[in-house]
């Protein structure tokens, strides 16, 4: 499938700035007309052969830069239920990132001037979104202790409480990325997404971006969602049991039942920078602009802080070296 401009015949793409289809060749808006694919992987614009990745649902012609959507990869079992359209375009994201580097005290100045942009890709990442209902029960014995002094005697009074809690919690649309290429931890850090902008799937949103079909089925990935729901449910349950000096647990059950699953595409920008022979990847939530990535750490700037905060800085530093998360 290909979107062609009625005015000039060029390839129209979805523009996050205009929030509609846009022709970068003649600046026309809403001038894109859908052309069905011919089932062959060749560019409808220039005739060049298209290289389509194993899981790719869209591709870009290397010769003329047109974007195609593979019809059979957005259809049938691969048809997404929902899509969250990109809200942030290329320029805005680059600007935000530069700002972030400047703000960050650990980024060496030379990184700002020397790092070269190797790749920038707006990608719709496939996610499964799971719904669960959790039934939680807690039974235990809690104590509260009161101590007071009267005359020469210290009194201690221990009261015993039977503690019982029951909670039903609904978890809706717990996202788990279904792309092998994307690092799970990084994708988890892309959250939260505002689901208010999640809408029914339409191919138009994909024009101008890369996309993938799910690489793994919903059943294969359900464990990750279940683990998360169990932990969250347990935490919410125990949050209601507080104020006791001691607590002896007799029973704690978190029973989880699946309530449905949906296939959705969520927007992520990937920017790869090369700095002194090393690549640095940044992932940016295409909706909120949240950045996740690693930056080289400036030794000089860190040492300049010195003194008593040194130990604290190193603790923060080892974290930064690993991954930085910015809202």
Q: Is 26 in the site for Zn ion (CB under 5 A)?
A: yes
* By the rule CB under 5 A, 23 interacts with Zn ion: yes
Q: What's the closest the beta carbon of residue 204 comes to Zn ion, in angstroms?
A: 15
By the rule CB under 5 A, 24 interacts with Zn ion: no
Among left, alpha and beta (phi > 0; psi -120 to 50; other), residue 8 is alpha
Closest separation in Å from C-beta 55 to Zn ion: 22
Residue 80 in tokens: 């997404």
CB of 61 to Zn ion, least distance (A): 3
- Considering only residues 3, 10, 206, 269, which one is a binding residue for Zn ion as defined by CB under 5 A? 10
Q: What's the gap between Cα 248 and its chain centre?
A: 38
Count residues binding Zn ion (CB under 5 A).
Answer: 16
Token readout for 179 is: 């792309």
Q: Are 275 and 115 in contact (CB under 8 A)?
A: yes
- How far is residue 127 CA from its own chain's centroid? 9
Q: Kindly write down the DSSP assignment for every residue of 70-123, as one continuous string.
A: -GGGSSGGG--SEE----S-HHHHHHHHHHHHHH-TTS-HHHHHH-EEEEEEEE
Q: Which residue, 63 or 160, is less far from Zn ion as judged by CB? A: 63
For residue 5, state whether it binds Zn ion (rule: CB under 5 A).
yes
Q: How far apart are CA 260 and CA 171, in angstroms?
A: 11
Q: Which is nearer to Zn ion, 20 or 81 (CB)?
A: 20
Which 60-119 positions form the footprint of Zn ion (CB under 5 A)? Answer: 61, 63-64, 66
Out of 13, 21, 43, 264, the only residue in the binding site for Zn ion (CB under 5 A) is 43
Residues near Zn ion, by CB under 5 A: 5, 7-8, 10, 23, 25-26, 28, 43, 45-46, 48, 61, 63-64, 66
């Amino acid at each position: 499938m290909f979107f062609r401009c009625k005015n000039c015949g060029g390839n129209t793409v979805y523009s996050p700035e205009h929030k509609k289809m846009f022709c970068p060749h003649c600046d026309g808006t809403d001038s894109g007309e859908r052309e069905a694919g011919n089932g062959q992987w060749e560019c409808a614009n220039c005739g060049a052969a298209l290289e389509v990745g194993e899981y790719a649902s869209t591709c870009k012609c290397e010769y003329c830069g047109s974007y195609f959507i593979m019809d059979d990869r957005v259809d049938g079992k691969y048809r997404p239920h929902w899509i969250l359209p990109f809200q942030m375009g290329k320029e805005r994201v680059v600007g935000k990132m530069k700002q972030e580097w400047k703000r960050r005290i650990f980024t060496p100045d030379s990184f700002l001037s020397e790092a070269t942009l190797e790749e920038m890709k707006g990608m719709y990442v496939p996610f499964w979104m799971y719904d669960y209902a959790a039934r939680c029960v807690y039974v235990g014995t809690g104590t509260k202790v009161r101590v007071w002094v009267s005359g020469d005697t210290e009194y201690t009074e221990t009261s015993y409480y039977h503690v019982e809690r029951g909670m039903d919690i609904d978890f809706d649309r717990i996202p788990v990325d279904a792309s092998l290429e994307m690092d799970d931890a990084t994708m988890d850090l892309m959250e939260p997404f505002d689901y208010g902008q999640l809408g029914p799937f339409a191919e138009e949103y994909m024009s101008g971006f890369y996309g993938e079909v799910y690489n793994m089925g919903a059943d294969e990935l359900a464990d990750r969602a279940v683990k998360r729901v169990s932990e969250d449910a347990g935490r919410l349950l125990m949050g209601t049991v507080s104020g006791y000096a001691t607590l002896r647990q007799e029973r704690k059950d978190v029973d989880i039942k699946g309530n449905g699953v949906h296939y959705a595409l969520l927007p992520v920008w990937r920017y790869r920078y090369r700095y002194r022979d090393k690549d640095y990847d940044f992932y940016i939530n295409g909706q909120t602009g949240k950045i996740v990535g690693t930056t080289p750490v400036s030794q000089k700037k860190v040492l300049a802080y010195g003194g008593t905060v040194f130990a604290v800085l190193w603790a923060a530093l080892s974290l930064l070296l690993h991954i930085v998360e910015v809202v």
